[in-house]
């Protein structure tokens, strides 16, 4: 049975590499990397800043209990939001107090505005100084009317002017001025 040790140079080189790797691992995991740290002593001057004092203490390996630091942490109060961190549901929403709010009952909503009159003023018919008759369009339908007439059984012609006509919806009593449109 062969173990691969026929080539002596390769075997020695592999053994040296394994030894160097083992030494590096021991050096890496030893903690201080081969350097010895001098023990730090609390030689803080009376005018020293507290931040430097806490920094020096953080690097110290002194296991004694510091009651002054514990006392400063006792004075801290927790002001939470009231949320339970051990439950996955959202907190209930805030319900406003309606007794003190300026809530007024607006009553019923106002009625919707009447629909616009669908007629279009198209032009005149007749003499310029006599009684004029007008042409009105409603989609494909053409109506011929004069003042006082009712068109499409719903719209009354109130006044005919030179550039517009005033029409009243007799069902809703809504008046609308319709301008002259080019056609």
CA nearest neighbour of 167 among 143, 141, 183: 143
Is 72's pLDDT higher than 70?
Answer: yes
Q: How far apart (Å, rounded) are the C-alpha atoms in residues 21 and 34?
A: 16
For range 52-59, the mean pLDDT:
59
Mean pLDDT of 113-134: 82
Mean predicted confidence (pLDDT) in 47-75: 70
For the chain, give the mean pLDDT.
Answer: 78
pLDDT in tens, 97-123: 666 555 566 788 888 888 899 988 888
- List phi, psi (to 5°) of 104: -120, 145
CA dist., res. 158 & res. 79, Å (int): 74
Q: What is the DSSP letter of 120?
A: E
Whole-angstrom distance, CA of residue 87 vs CA of residue 4:
63
Higher pLDDT, 174 or 80: 174
- pLDDT at 44 (0 to 100): 46
- Cα atoms in the Cβ-side hemisphere of radius 13 Å centred on 156: 10
């Amino acid at each position: 049975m062969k173990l691969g040790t026929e080539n002596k140079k390769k075997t020695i080189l592999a053994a040296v590499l394994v030894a160097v790797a083992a030494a590096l691992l021991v050096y890496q995991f030893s903690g201080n990397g081969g350097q010895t740290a001098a023990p730090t002593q609390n030689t803080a001057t009376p005018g020293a800043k507290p931040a430097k004092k806490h920094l020096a203490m953080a690097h110290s390996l002194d296991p004694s209990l510091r009651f002054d630091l514990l006392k400063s942490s006792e004075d801290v109060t927790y002001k939470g939001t009231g949320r339970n961190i051990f439950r996955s549901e959202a907190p209930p929403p805030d319900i406003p107090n309606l007794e003190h709010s300026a809530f007024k009952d607006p009553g019923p909503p106002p009625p919707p505005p009447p629909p616009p009159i669908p007629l279009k003023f198209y032009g005149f018919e007749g003499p310029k100084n006599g009684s004029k008759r007008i042409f009105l369009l409603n989609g494909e339908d053409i109506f011929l009317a004069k003042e006082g007439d009712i068109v499409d059984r719903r719209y009354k012609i109130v006044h005919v002017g030179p550039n517009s006509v005033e029409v009243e919806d007799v069902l809703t009593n809504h008046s609308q001025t319709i301008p002259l449109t080019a056609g």
